[in-house]
Each structure stands twice: as structure tokens, then as C-alpha cells.
Amino acid sequence: MDIESRNPANGELLETFDTSSDEDVDGVVLRAHDAFGAWRRRSYADRAGALRAAAELLRRDALPFARTMALEMGKPLAEGKAEAEKCATTCDYYATNAERLLAPEVYETDAQKSYVRFDPLGVVFAVMPWNFPFWQVFRFAAPALMAGNGAVLKHAPNVTRCALHIEQVFRDAGLPSGLFGVVHGGAEVASRAIAHPSVVAVTLTGSERAGSSVAEQAGRALKKVVLELGGSDPFIVLADADLARAASTAAAARLLNSGQSCIAAKRFIVVEQVADRFIELFVAEVKRRKLGDPLDVDTQIGPQARLDLRDNLHRQVTESLARGAKVLCGAQLPAGKGAFYPPTVLEAEKGTPVFDEETFGPVAAVTRAKSEEDAIALANDTPYGLGASLWTADRARAERLAVQIEAGGVFVNGLVKSDPRIPFGGIKRSGYGRELSVYGLREFTNVKTVWLG
């Protein structure tokens, strides 16, 4: 038993688990492959019935699942419950729409009839992170399973109990035995699964470093990969923005999941004319959020998922201060147990870690822009390209500037979020491929041409 699950609020050991052996990994993959053979032949209606049953279980047990998330990675209860319910909504979405979205498409050619089919590929191997321990899994699994594939999950070790809950949900929902399997461990377990001949594709949500490693291994094995990696999302505030609404949304966008989100707004780029007023409103909103025990129903910000993550976040803050950043609130390590970090706002420029790097925690960098053009240039001055939020009262201006922003999604007068109806993913070092919507549904299908002469 060499995997430890610890409560980040107090450091207490929750459970220990065994790392999967090579034989364990091979067995899980082969069972998923065997189950896939029959599952792919099941009707969409049959598959939809299983996903709807999973949705019912997720709603029924949303609070117990939220408690597990709170204990394993520190997510506040209300957010964990909402996460389980969002997974249920996504299961229902694909149960309702997959058959329509995967319907054959007819094309006019020199054949008597020609069309494109979307057939399942096989077993998809997923490497998933701890920050949204249910949502990240269902985001890939619901469409992959509805398309007729099998799935094997290697979750982050610190949320192993969440992984087992998810496996049980699919089992209780009536999926064929083994179709959705779970393996436990680190990079060695992932490498074993990626190399297995019965795994046909790989998806990873995680760090840039993990994504690079998995992509390299999958490339050697000639297997398709979808990567959703880090982000340093800009939150751009122009002079005509509704500042009160922008500031309130900015606090939510930075502090959701205790700041531990790839698509959290991280760099707040504000044109000079309204910067002072926005900063005043934003800092006040941030200070209103309650930091505390994630099992307390009043808590809005829990601990960071691990102490080492909290310590790296504080390093980014202290190095930024040494390079000229200014503290507007927070930035002090709290006394006592747990991996807590206070909501922090710094005024910072390019050349500081809080601007140049991804900050994975409740730390916001506010940067003044000389003009609209300067704001867009600063927003694009990052190796990442996941999401962006743009605030302006002028819809025509917003649509013109959205073209110039280098990101997988631009949300105007709203926070960046994922939704099963629209595609999700990034560009540059934020990864490639798409999840959700019709695009995510088709990622793990064989886009097959049929030509009839």
C-alpha cells in the first residue's frame, strides 16, 4: 500500500491504496477491450440508458461525493456537489444527443452513394488530475462511452477514492463489466497502459510537463492523443466595461475551486482609465470570500490540494514581490495545519512569475494596459492559450477583438467555463484536440468514408 490519500485541511492520513502492478494494468485494459467488443454493437438507446442511470446516481449521491472531494483534495462542499451535478447533466446531454451528433453524413461525389460514418475506436486511456476529480473524468468518459468506446482511467493518486466512486457509478449504472476500468499509480502505470496494444487512444488533462511526456509515449506507439494542459487566462477589462459586474465575476473566476483551475482567470489586464476603480472593487470582492475548512458549508475557499503545491504558489508570490510586484491583499502564509493560502491580489507586470507563469491557486495578478491594443498584446503575451474573458459594453468591438485573442475560447462579459454543448480546449502550450460538444464526441471515433459505386 504505497499510495496515500491525505486531508489537505489538516494533513491527516485518510486511506492507503496499492499501486497497480503490470499484471493489474494489463488485466484492466484487456477486460475493457473484451467488453468493448459487445458494447460497440449496442444501440444508442441502450448506451443512453446506462448514461442516464449514471446521471441519476450522480444526483442522488452528489453530497457524499462532494464530501469525498472535500476530504481528498479540499474542494468546498457546495462546489463538490455542483461538480457531481454537472457530471450528471453531461451524461444526460450525450445520452440525448449522441445518436444525432454521430449520424452518418452524406456527401455528393462520383459514387452512387457516399457518406461518412463515425465508428468507435476501442479502449481510450485517460490520465486525469485532482482538481476536478469527477468532472474531468466524466468530461471525457460520457462522450467516449456514448460513442461506443471502452475506457481505462488512471487518476491522480491523491484522489484515488474519487476514482473508485466513479468506477462504482458506472458499474451500478449497468455498463458491461470492465468496460470502464481504473488503475492506480504514477507515471510507470501510465506508461504501461499507453504501450498496451489494446489501448487505441490517450487523453490527458494535467500539467504541461505531464502532457509532453504522455504525448511522446503515445507518439512512439502511433496512438491519437487529446491534451488539455495549463493556462494563464487573461481577464481583459476595457474602459466601457460594467466595472462592478466585472469585479464580482473576476473574484469568482479567480477563486473557483480555491484557484486551482486551468481556466481560472489569472492575469487581470485593465486599461489605465478604469484601473484604479476596478482594483478597488476587485480587492473588496476578493476579501469577502471566506477561507476555511472545506467541510464547513459556509466555506468558499478551501486549502490547496497539497502542501507542496501551496509552497510553490507562495514561491511565485515572493519572487514576484522581489521583482517589483505590489501586494494589494493576502500574500502571507497562515499559521496552523493544512495547505491553506489566503486570497491574494498583486499588482504586477510582465517579468514576474505571477504574470509569466501559471499560478494554480488563489493568486491574481493585476496589470495596467495603456490602451485597448496594449491590453490585447499583454493578453497574448503568454505561452498558453486556453481561455480568455473580455469585458466591454460594445458587442461589435468584442467580436472584433475576439478574433485577435489567442485562446481556445473567448467569453465576453462572463467567466470562462466548460459546457457540454460547446467545445473545450486550447492552443499553444495549453494542448490540442477538443473535449465536449460534437467535436469532443468525434475525437475518439474512426471518421470512416463509405463509397458505393
Catalytic residues, by residue number, are: 228, 262
Q: Is 106 exposed, middle or buried (0-12, 13-18, 19+ CB in 10 A)?
A: exposed
Give, for 295, the enclosing helix (H) or strand (E): none
Strand partners, 233: 265
Around Cβ 397, how many Cβ atoms within 10 Å? 15
CA distance 434 to 98: 16
Please report, for residues 197, 263, 324, 434, the alpha-carbon distance to residue 222 in angstroms, rounded to integers and kept in the order given: 11, 29, 47, 19
Instruction: Indicate the SS3 state at residue 121.
Output: coil
Rounded (10°) angle between helices 22-39 and 187-195? 50
Q: Is 141 exposed, middle or buried (0-12, 13-18, 19+ CB in 10 A)?
A: buried
Runs of H (alpha helix) within 18-61: 22-39, 44-60
CA distance 199 to 218: 10
Q: How does DSSP assign 161-221, residue by residue?
A: HHHHHHHHHHHHTTPPTTSEEEE--SHHHHHHHHH-TTEEEEEEES-HHHHHHHHHHHHHT
